[in-house]
Amino acid sequence: MLLFAVTGLIGALVKSGQHQGPWRVNVVSATVTTADTSSLQRKDPANRWLLVKAKVEVTDMSSHTGLGSVLRLSGVDGLVAQEPGVLLARDGSRIDRLHPGLPEVVTFAWEQAGSAPAPQQFTLHVIGGSAANVTVTAQ
């Protein structure tokens, strides 16, 4: 199993917790793995998952859907889709709606083609907010 960890913990996103649109996003970790879960199955067994775990809180007065559109990656070749799958970190179930005043730690999962190089660095964009460079190193 491939496993990588983030160094430098994603600067502005982790430290600020600033509002990005109707969301407050604080990145917890980022990893690369070939392990599937009951909620996420790779389309090709040679592919890998790029996982970003983040605490996400709705800052609006109403619930919001569309969690898959909150974060985007750039600087990564071979993504199967630009929009990630989103899972609750606590139980691995798929989620697409969060409610105000109930922050959740969620995992954003992008499938990457096994023929593409595993990223050493990528940029993480919070839609409507900031971007941060993420350096990935072997663990």
Q: Provide the CATH number for the domain around residue 83.
A: 2.60.40
CA-closest candidate to residue 28, choices 3, 5, 58, 49: 5
Residue type, 30: A
pLDDT over threshold 80, residue 135: no
- What's the pLDDT band for 77 if we cut at 50, 70, 90? very high
pLDDT tens-digit map of 19-45: 557 888 888 888 898 998 888 899 999
Q: How many CA atoms lie within 13 A of 98 on its CB side?
A: 24
pLDDT over threshold 60, residue 12: no
- Kindly state the tokens that stand for 95: 């989620």
Structural domain total, the chain? 1
Range from 56-60, 99-103, 121-125 carrying the lowest mean pLDDT: 121-125
- Among 3-17, 21-35, 105-119, top mean pLDDT goes to 105-119
**Res 136: pLDDT:** 65
Range from 72-76, 110-114, 133-137 carrying the lowest mean pLDDT: 133-137
**Which residues fall within 8 angstroms of residue 8, CB to CB, at 6 or more apart?**
134, 135
**Res 139: pLDDT:** 31
Secondary structure letter of residue 94 according to DSSP: B
The domain of 104 spans 4-138
